[in-house]
Structure 1
Amino acid sequence: MKNIHYLILSMALMAIGEILTIYSEVYASKLSGKAVEHPELFIKPMILICVAGICLIFAYWFGYQGTGNIWVVTVASLTLLLILEPLVIYVMLKELPGRGALVGFLLGAVGLLATFIL
């Protein structure tokens, strides 16, 4: 496979892995009180997080094969997470971040930009 194919496959697997991870975390957090009485409710997020982990492991492997630099892959993963997490949370919960969370999010975005620029 050529490098570009590795990169495309890496980004696709990374997006799938990040979305499944975020979905699993948010889904499990919404279980709250019900899970004490019915621990089997955790099976769905546990299976999804396992699939997500497999996707992310292969995303990093393909990304490293395509770029030869683990830092490029790591920054791509963080950028994807920074973009996808608020979207998935909003789609699932219809909840906007509060002032403190929004400031933290923006500072994280600035830090990520500094990584690219500097």
Structure 2
Amino acid sequence: MKSNQYLILSIVLMILGEILTIYSEIYASKLSTRAIQNPELFVKPIILICVAGICLIFAYWFGYQGTGNIWVVTVASLTLLLVLEPLVIYAMLKELPGRGALVGFLLGAAGLLATFLL
């Protein structure tokens, strides 16, 4: 497989893994006191976080195969987290970020571009 294909697969798996991770964390946080009476409610977020972990492991592996540099892969993962978290939160909760979070979101997007373009 060519290194460009590794990079594309890595990014797709990273995006999927980060979205599933964020979704499962928010989903679990919204369970509140209902989970005390019904602990089986945690099964869904646990399964999602396991799938997310598998996606992220393979994303790192493909990313390293494509770049040969773990720092590029790590920065891409962290930056995707910074960019995707506000989007998933808004999609699930319809809450807008405050001014500081918005600045962080924009800087995260700039960092992602810098990682791949520089």
**Coordinate RMSD, CA, aligned:** 2.2
1:106 aligns to 2:103 (yes or no): yes
2:24 maps to amino acid: S
Give unmatched runs, 5+ long, in structure 1. Answer: none
Specify the alignment match of 2:16 in structure 1. Answer: 16
Partner of 1:78: 78
Q: Tell me, what secondary structure is at the counterpart of 2:30?
A: helix
Asked if the contact 2:64–2:73 (Cα under 8 Å) also holds between the matched residues in 1, the reply is yes
Equivalence for 1:67: 67
The answer as to whether partners of 2:17 and 2:52 remain within 8 angstroms in 1 is: yes
Matches of 2:26 and 2:42 in 1, distance apart?
A: 12
1:106 maps to amino acid: V
Contact 1:17 1:53 (C-alpha < 8 Å) held by counterparts: yes
TM-score (norm 1): 0.86
Distance 1:104 1:94 in 2: 15
SS, match of residue 31 in structure 1: coil
Shift of 1:95: 1.1
Shift of residue 111 of structure 1? 7.6
Q: How many residues align?
A: 115
Of the structure 1 ranges 76-85 and 102-111, higher mean CA displacement relative to structure 2 is found in 102-111
Q: How many percent of aligned residue pairs carry the same amino acid? A: 71
Structure-to-structure mapping, 1:31-42, within 5 angstroms: 31-42=31-42
2:44 matched to which residue of 1? 44
Could you list the per-position Cα deviations for residues 50-99 of structure 1 after superposition, in whole angstroms to 9, with x for gaps in the alignment? 000000000000000000000100111111111110000000001123x4
Q: 1:106, CA displacement in angstroms?
A: 2.4
AA at the equivalent of 2:7? L
Q: Which moved more, 1:72-81 or 1:54-63?
A: 72-81
Q: Is the 8 A contact 2:79 2:108 kept in 1?
A: no
